[in-house]
Amino acid sequence: MRGVTQTLPAAEPVEEVIGRGLWTDALARLRHNRAAMISLIVLVCVIVLVLLGPSASPYAYDDTNFDAISLPPSAGDAHYFGTDTLGRDLFVRTLIGGRLSLLVGLVATLVSLVIGVSYGATAGYFGGRVDHLMMRIVDILYAMPFLFLVILLLVFFGRNLLLMFVAIGAINWLDMARIVRGQTLSLRRREFVEAAVVGGVPPFTIIRRHIVPNLLGIVAVYVTLTIPQVMLVESFLSFLGLGVQEPMTSWGALVNEGARGMETTPWMLIFPALFLAATLFCFNFVGDGLRDALDPADRK
């Protein structure tokens, strides 16, 4: 046992400590989750395809061609997914629609993330009367019929993409605020927060540096679950005819169009629906994986 006799007299092993954060840990665990990893790869593929695909096709998303109406998919003339009732290439339209659907998902989630986290963390941290007041406001907003609100907004201000982002995001932050507030309540009494308080650190600095980073785990999970939810809402609105405006399109709008000619031109439904469903599935799997990976009790 040469090693032991040698290490004993050395008082302090000279060793660089390399920070291995909770995120590094979580990523390592996520990597072992097969469903989440496959989903992540599929998602990346979808995003790359959506970004680069349209420029690879000779057609534009709003090019009508009355000689090629409702063609079934064929590789020969580069209509990989066929064409729609106006002779527009469905491959390009699906990908362009995907851009919009993903954009709505991300932007609206970002809106809800920013509002929800700052609102919830503030309410939870200050507690008491502030918390009561802020959460009652959330309750009141909860009681508003969301769809009615969105329809009203869209009718009043016209169909406007930006407005849709804001409307969806502004509704979704309610859930986020509740979740974040609950977590903050328990974080606030943790000793490291008290240590910062006695150090004389001002409240909003504490929220920013101590509360929010500790919330990221749960927030990250919730975000991956909100993105598909928001995309569904957008699809739903588009399906109702309240979403995007022609010739722009989204997956929801495409599914809506496709559903009308389900019997005669099934490809118009199948392809956008496939993309939408696959993306939603993947986001959900990644969210599940993240939740498991970030749960410290689940360490194997």
Minimum distance between the CB of residue 300 and other proteins, rounded to whole angstroms? 17
The smaller minimum CB distance to other proteins, of residues 4 and 11, is found at 11
Piece in contact with other proteins (CB under 8 A), picked from 15-23, 138-146, 177-185, 261-269: 15-23
C-alpha distances in angstroms, 99 versus 96, 104, 106, 284? 5, 9, 10, 19
Answer for which of 3, 9, 76, 128 binds other proteins (CB under 8 A) is 128
Q: Which is nearer to other proteins, 19 or 145 (CB)?
A: 19
Q: What is the DSSP string of 70-113?
A: TPPPBTTTTBTT-B-TT--BHHHHHHHHHHHHHHHHHHHHHHHH
Among 19, 76, 145, 158, binds other proteins (CB under 8 A): 19
Q: Name which of 127 and 247 has its Cβ closer to other proteins.
A: 127
Considering the complex, state which of residue 74 and residue 205 has its C-beta at the smaller distance from other proteins.
205
Tokens coding 206? 């504490």
| CB-based burial label for 19 (10 Å; 0-12, 13-18, 19+) | exposed
12 binds other proteins (CB under 8 A): yes
Cα→Cα distances 132→124, 126, 128, 144, Å: 9, 10, 6, 19
Q: Is 251 within 8 Å of 272 (Cβ atoms)?
A: yes
83 phi, psi to nearest 5 deg: -130, 165
Question: In this chain, which of 10, 16, 67, 263 binds other proteins, going by CB under 8 A?
Answer: 16
Work out how close the CB of 181 gets to other proteins at its nearest, in angstroms, rounded to a whole number. 16
Beta-ladder partners of 79 = 74
Kindly write out the interface string for residues 45-64 of this chain, putting x where it contacts other proteins by CB under 8 A and - elsewhere. --------------------
By the rule CB under 8 A, 216 interacts with other proteins: yes
Cβ distance to other proteins smaller for residue 191 or 263: 191
In angstroms, the CA 188 to CA 206 distance is 10
Q: Based on the shown chain and the rule CB under 8 A, indicate whether residue 3 belongs to the binding site for other proteins.
A: no
Site for other proteins in 176-205 (CB under 8 A): 190-203, 205
Q: Which is nearer to other proteins, 40 or 193 (CB)?
A: 193
CA atoms within 13 A on the CB side of 283: 23
Q: CB 66: neighbour CB atoms within 10 A?
A: 7
CB of 204 to other proteins, least distance (A): 11
Instruction: Say how many CA atoms lie within 13 Å of 287 toward its Cβ.
Output: 17
Q: Which is nearer to other proteins, 2 or 129 (CB)?
A: 129
> Contact with other proteins (CB under 8 A): which of 210, 226, 253, 272?
210
Neighbouring residues of 153: CB distance < 8 A, sequence distance ≥ 6: 163, 167
For position 213 contacting other proteins by CB under 8 A, the verdict is yes
Residue from 289, 286, 234 nearest 43 by CA: 286
Instruction: Report in angstroms how near the CB of residue 186 gets to other proteins at its nearest.
Output: 12
Residue 20 as a binder of other proteins (CB under 8 A): the answer is: yes
Among 214, 224, 249, 279, binds other proteins (CB under 8 A): 214
For other proteins, the binding residues (CB under 8 A) are 12, 14-22, 127-128, 190-203, 205, 209-210, 213-214, 216
